[in-house]
Structure 1
Amino acid sequence: MKNSFLVVLLVLGIQQINAQFTRRDSLQGGLRIERTSYDVKRYDLNITIHPEQKSIEGFNEITFEVLVPTQKIQLDLFDNMKVDSIVWNTKKLQYQREYDAVFIAFPEKLASKSNHKLQFYYSGNPKIAKNAPWDGGFVFKKDSNGKDFIGVAVQGTGASLWYPVKDSQSDEPDFGASIKVAVPNGVMNVSNGRFLGSEDLKNGYTRWDWEVKNPINNYTITVNIADYVHIQDKMPDLDLDYYVLRENETKAREHFAEVKPMMECFQSKFGRYPFWEDGYKLVETPYLGMEHQSAVAYGNKYKKGYMGFDLSGTGVGMFFDYITIHETGHEWFGNSITSTDIADMWIHEGFTTYSETVFVECMKGYDDAMKYINGQARNIRNDKPIIGQFGVNNEGSGDMYYKGSLLLNTLRHVIADDEKWWKLLYDYTETYKKKIITTETVITYFNEASGMDLTPIFNQYLYTNKIPVLNYEVTGDYLNYSWSNVNEDFNMPIDIDFEGKKMRLYPTLENQKIKLKKLRKRSFQIYDNQFFIKLEEKD
């Protein structure tokens, strides 16, 4: 009876979880056979954007390999966009639409290990963002000279908002992509990868051709349309290109001087820039920013901090441009190392937010880095767990940014060996370079690389919204201490300083004590700036 009751509770719990999400959510976030039966090898996008009509027309040629025999696959395109035709081997294919999913039927079963190409022709007016990049969509604006200034940001909302694609982070085109975009004469388009050239189409439009050699997240494929000035720079092993509005050329040349020291720092800590074949670009956009691979969107208006503010509240964040540093950090964490499901997006955002602290430490030293990262704790809400619901296109708490970063800072000090920590982090980025992984992959790696069982720590910070509380009390020469507000198996150590000597304690849920000769309340310090915890002193 007890087991049956538990089964009923489990079923009811699953039903409640499922009730929060719609069929549309599962179609976008799920991995059914129509998605897993094939592997995307390449996208070749060829479109025209009409700024006055705010419309797109063109096609995406999708090259794919069949993994298991199938006669039907799923691609995705938002249902407000029109499917003009889908062509395979010169044949128009039948398809059915369900919300944003497009189920394509082939006239015969496709054999395993066979390779195919189809051309997906489409047109329409893509969704306009109300507040990019926090909501997905296009931004159509004008610069101060009245010329078009256009961009797109779709993370979380879905790349299928503006082009046909397998809209899942679980599959990236192994052999890259080409992005060919025709725009009105007088402006240009900048997309990912290397510029191949432009062609005047003799109809008032010029097509701008770009090529990506590396695998690429579908949501980071992008277009940027403006009257750009191209600024070129170079490091010994990397091309640096900046595309900025003509009116901002002078300030951009000065402002982007921080790119080289940033790259030197990140490459020393995370390994070589992962997309060196495609180069590195900052592209000015009419919205704040986004980690578009090899074409980082920049819209911080050449200010230090985050739109002129320090998100840490410490003052440390005002010596660098938050958007340049954070969005470039994503090239390693999010673009190179990608989570299979957006429920695991802390793999992108936690590590990238930590890269800000790494940059501070490179430039200003350890003390300022600790000041910066602990200042960010004020932004944590503890509203819900960092990990979201899987299979329904659902991210977890926004705490994935700052709490995720503070988790990494905590792990660094649990390991308590900086040489080992930096090697572990460097090897992590190299081991999973250009791979798609899960939280379980991260935990397994950190456990093996550190030689420690860090699983209870990961579980506490990722799967609950409870911050560990260290309870302590001084009674005579004894320091009493214990954990509360934690999982039963939580076993994180903590460091204290007593009369200039660093000591490691191992609290549990049960009260423990240590004798410290001539102990006084002010004669010891708990290193709570090295571990993301709360302190509670008993009177």
Structure 2
Amino acid sequence: MRRVNLVVLAIFCYLSACAQPTADSNRYTRADSLRGGLRPERTGYDVLFYDLSLRVDPTSRTIEGSNVIRYKVVRAFQQMQVDLFANMQVRRITQNGKPLTYRRDGNAIFISMNQDQPVGQTREITISYGGSPTVAKNAPWDGGFVWQRDSVNNKPWVTVACEGKGASLWWPCKDHLSDEPDSMRIRVRVPSGLTCVSNGLLQGQRPAGPGQTEWNWYVHYPINSYNVTLNVTDYAHFADEYRSPDGQRLKLDYYVLPFNLSKAKTHFEQVKGMLACYERYFGKYPFWRDGYKLVETPYWGMEHQSAIAYGNKYQNNPFNFDFIIIHESGHEYFGNSLSCADHAEMWIHESFTTYAEALYMECRQGAATAQTYLNTQRPLIRNEYSMLGPLGVNADQPDTDIYYKGSWMLHTLRHAVNNDTKWFAAIKALATEKKLSIVTTNEVIDFLIKRTGADLKPLFDQYLRHTELPVLEYQIMRTEANERSIRYRWVANGQDFALPVQVRTGSGTWQTIRPSHEWATTSLAPGTSPLTINTNIGLFDVRRLTTE
């Protein structure tokens, strides 16, 4: 039921991200449009609840089961679209026990309704299906199932990650970010002796036929489709708790391979400090009732809601934290709680979460170390694609700028606001007031402008919609009396781009200049000391022109 305003999304498409270069748009196919588009067969219904029930067979590498889709009718329709990859077989689709006819168009299923679908009414359909789901070649970057065995006990180890490729590679759903259910049940039958860990709160387990155990999980919050997951092996489990400053306790559950239990108990201690820092900046953990879980996986990691995939082999980076724990947990706030409406806007997920790593450093080790950490991100910025992609085509964001350039964009905005009290209050309000909601790029921009009182739109436009960085052009000018001044301007895609810059001569005090697209001049301290431009507080290039 968590939905974006589709009218706003359409207007945003017209004004911004849809206006991409033709070469970029030509990368997308009809299948991309069927997956990424919002046509009447999708917008006519609003998902309220998914009831997913599966049997996982590690030997045959198959799954079999059903999904009940409960929905509210938004506008009358005779046909609805549900997504399921073409290699998966639909066994039967029913409503009120009666079969429904359907046709396939690649990975999309168009279902013809036997009954009227009155606006405002709640209805259900049941899709029974099965098959051999797509196998990931390189999870999590290439989506699909991972069928492995652990290296010590040779037990089956089955996991799935599907963010880019789509949840519909393994279960039927409305596979679009603009619509999430209010809640979800996930029941998975696996060979007895194995544990299945999924999203949400464990409701229990029970025998489910010869040699089978069913694990029952319940998600109490909205969840986007790619975050739904399962993890199956002979897990060892241990629990802990995080206590909020107000005294409320959050359940922490960890599922790891048995031979890693001892190191996990020590290594995962950093979770509590992380949650404290994130609570300071973004408010309380947003899925409190479902608890927080780390689940060991054979791939690096993934932000599966309340069941974060962890595969970093219990290693800290040179800054003494585990990147996968800190980054993927940051997605619980940005990506899982506050979510974008279209894959074209994934900067909202990744930029804020990558920036959260730097804020974690500032919280734990101070501003200077946080700046050092940000400086390790800066060389990774490529400036080859805009951070906003085309809407409606399941945009695949071909490079990493939504991470590192996005992080530096937010760092730049902080210094443009030039008031940490306002800046941190604004991003905390964004995370808390937009908690469990779907937002568009324009909504995020407008929110931060309103809360900071700063005109941030030209900066957002430059960094999100253009590949080039703004360039500070400058000259050092000397008079006959040997007095010095700096002449400067911004060269940027938009004439309204404005970012204050700090300069100083020698080891003197910083002075602020305020370039625009027009040339301006500011006096410098006398002498021959070299000029330094503070590039730590903003994302821009510098070009010194010949001195006049």
Coarse TM-score class (shorter-chain normalised): over 0.9
Cα 1:448/1:173, change in 2 over 3 Å = same
Pair 1:257 & 2:295 matched = no
Give SS of 1:480's match: strand
**Residues 282-297 of structure 1 aligned to structure 2 (within 5 Å):** 282-297=294-309
1:210-237 residue CA offsets vs partner (Å, 9 max, x unmatched)? 0110000110010000111111001222
Cα 1:511/1:520, change in 2 over 3 Å = farther
Partners of 1:531 and 1:198 lie apart in 2 by 53
Give SS of 1:423's match: helix
Pair 1:196 & 2:203 matched = yes
Q: Which consecutive residues of structure 2, in runs of 5 or more, have no partner in the other structure?
A: 1-17, 244-248, 479-483
Partners of 1:281 and 1:392 lie apart in 2 by 33
Aligned 8 A contact 2:19 2:390 in 1: no
Pair 1:154 & 2:156 matched = no
Partner of 2:392: 391
Partners of 1:348 and 1:12 lie apart in 2 by 21
Partner of 1:325: 326
Cα 1:38/1:87, change in 2 over 3 Å = same
Structure 2 letter corresponding to 1:127: T
Give SS of 2:438's match: strand
Partner of 1:456: 458
Q: Name the TM-score, length of structure 2 as normaliser.
A: 0.92
Partner of 2:337: 336
In the TM superposition, residue 160 of structure 1 has moved relative to its aligned partner by: 0.2
Give SS of 1:117's match: strand
Structure 1 letter corresponding to 2:534: Y
Partners of 1:16 and 1:518 lie apart in 2 by 52
Give SS of 1:53's match: coil
**Residues 69-84 of structure 1 aligned to structure 2 (within 5 Å):** 69-84=76-91
Aligned 8 A contact 1:344 1:395 in 2: no
In the TM superposition, residue 380 of structure 1 has moved relative to its aligned partner by: 1.2
Partners of 2:149 and 2:104 lie apart in 1 by 35
Structure 2 letter corresponding to 1:290: M
Partner of 1:436: 438
Q: Which of 501, 504, 509 matches 1:501?
A: 509
**Residues 48-87 of structure 1 aligned to structure 2 (within 5 Å):** 48-87=55-94
Aligned 8 A contact 1:389 1:395 in 2: no
Partner of 1:27: 34
Cα 1:91/1:433, change in 2 over 3 Å = same
In the TM superposition, residue 504 of structure 1 has moved relative to its aligned partner by: 2.2
Structure 1 letter corresponding to 2:302: M
Structure 2 letter corresponding to 1:420: K
Aligned 8 A contact 1:75 1:165 in 2: yes
Partner of 1:96: 103
Question: Structure 1 stretch 289-298 or stretch 499-508: which is displaced more?
Answer: 499-508
Aligned 8 A contact 1:474 1:520 in 2: no
Partner of 1:223: 230
CA root-mean-square deviation: 1.6
Q: Name the TM-score, length of structure 1 as normaliser.
A: 0.93
Partners of 2:23 and 2:137 lie apart in 1 by 31
In the TM superposition, residue 242 of structure 1 has moved relative to its aligned partner by: 0.4
1:293-337 residue CA offsets vs partner (Å, 9 max, x unmatched)? 0000000010112xxxxxxxxx43xx1000000000000000001
1:278-302 residue CA offsets vs partner (Å, 9 max, x unmatched)? 1000000111100000000000010
Partner of 1:121: 128
Partners of 2:96 and 2:50 lie apart in 1 by 17
Partner of 1:419: 421
Partners of 1:149 and 1:17 lie apart in 2 by 38
Q: Which of 15, 38, 48 matches 1:41?
A: 48
Structure 1 letter corresponding to 2:103: Q
Aligned 8 A contact 2:462 2:492 in 1: no
Partners of 1:128 and 1:239 lie apart in 2 by 33
Partner of 1:382: 383
Partner of 1:169: 177
In the TM superposition, residue 519 of structure 1 has moved relative to its aligned partner by: 5.1
Partners of 1:18 and 1:260 lie apart in 2 by 44
In the TM superposition, residue 13 of structure 1 has moved relative to its aligned partner by: 8.3
Aligned 8 A contact 2:20 2:389 in 1: no
Partners of 2:410 and 2:528 lie apart in 1 by 32
Partner of 1:240: 252
**Residues 475-494 of structure 1 aligned to structure 2 (within 5 Å):** 475-476=477-478, 477-494=484-501
Structure 1 letter corresponding to 2:524: L
* Count of residue correspondences: 516
Give SS of 1:444's match: helix
In the TM superposition, residue 14 of structure 1 has moved relative to its aligned partner by: 8.2
1:54-87 residue CA offsets vs partner (Å, 9 max, x unmatched)? 1000001111000011111110000000000011
In the TM superposition, residue 388 of structure 1 has moved relative to its aligned partner by: 0.8
Pair 1:278 & 2:290 matched = yes
Give SS of 1:107's match: coil
Partners of 2:199 and 2:267 lie apart in 1 by 22
Question: Structure 1 stretch 199-208 or stretch 28-37: which is displaced more?
Answer: 199-208
Give SS of 2:284's match: coil
Partner of 1:130: 137
Question: Structure 1 stretch 479-488 or stretch 465-474: which is displaced more?
Answer: 479-488
Partner of 2:347: 346
Q: Which consecutive residues of structure 1, in runs of 5 or more, have no partner in the other structure?
A: 1-10, 306-314
In the TM superposition, residue 243 of structure 1 has moved relative to its aligned partner by: 0.4
Cα 1:349/1:126, change in 2 over 3 Å = same
